[in-house]
């Protein structure tokens, strides 16, 4: 599995930096964002170091599909209210124009009752 010793989220995957885990399996980790915008705000990442969506390749199709199917389940588990009154938002920043700060692919999941700090 590809990893980058200088990458913040690879260090979280390796347990070198602590995180508040939401979910873990052999290829996916989810943990609470350290600076939440909303009552629920966690990140879902592949354990493998993929810098952004721009580097996705056909071999990542199943992994990305699994993350999409996991998101609604984890959102409810973490306190998002059910659809349609509740729900959640997914977003993934890719590159400088999106203001991506951490260059290890991550999907933000935000939700919970409004108001939110941002978004
Ligand atoms: P982005 O701008 O999409 O790259 O977002 C990076 C996100 O990572 C931000 O929302 C940060 O608050 C979050 N973040 C940075 N460091 C940590 C950390 N050590 N643990 C959890 N979340 C973090
Ligand atoms: Zn990484």
**pLDDT of amino acid 57:** 98
> Is the shortest distance between the CB of 101 and ligand 1 below 6 Å?
yes
**pLDDT of amino acid 12:** 98
Radius of gyration of the chain (CA): 14
Is 41 considered catalytic here?
no
> Is the shortest distance between the CB of 62 and ligand 1 below 6 Å?
no
**pLDDT of amino acid 52:** 98
Read off the pLDDT of residues 46-101 as tens digits, 9 standing for 90 and up: 999 999 999 999 999 999 999 999 999 999 999 999 999 999 999 999 999 999 99
Does the model's pTM come out above 0.95? yes
| Shortest-distance atom of ligand 1 to CA 106 | 3
Strand order in the sheet with 107-111: 21-24, 28-32, 40-46, 107-111, 88-91
Ligand nearest to the CA of 47: 2
Q: What is the DSSP letter of 63?
A: H
Q: Which of 75, 84, 92 is nearest to 38 (CA)?
A: 75
CA angle 74, 77, 79 (to 5 degrees): 110
Q: 49 C-alpha vs ligand 1 centroid, how far in Å?
A: 15
> Is the shortest distance between the CB of 93 and ligand 1 below 6 Å?
yes
């Amino acid at each position: 599995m590809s990893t980058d010793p200088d990458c913040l989220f690879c260090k979280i995957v390796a347990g070198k930096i602590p995180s508040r885990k939401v979910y873990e399996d052999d290829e996916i980790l989810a943990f609470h964002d350290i600076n939440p915008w909303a009552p629920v705000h966690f990140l879902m990442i592949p354990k493998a170091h993929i810098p952004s969506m721009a580097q996705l390749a056909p071999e990542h199709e199943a992994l990305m599909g699994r993350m999409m199917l996991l998101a609604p389940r984890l959102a409810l588990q973490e306190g998002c209210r059910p659809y349609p009154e509740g729900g959640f938002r997914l977003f993934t920043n890719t590159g400088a124009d999106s203001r991506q700060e951490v260059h290890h692919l991550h999907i933000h999941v935000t939700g919970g009752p409004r108001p939110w700090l941002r978004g």
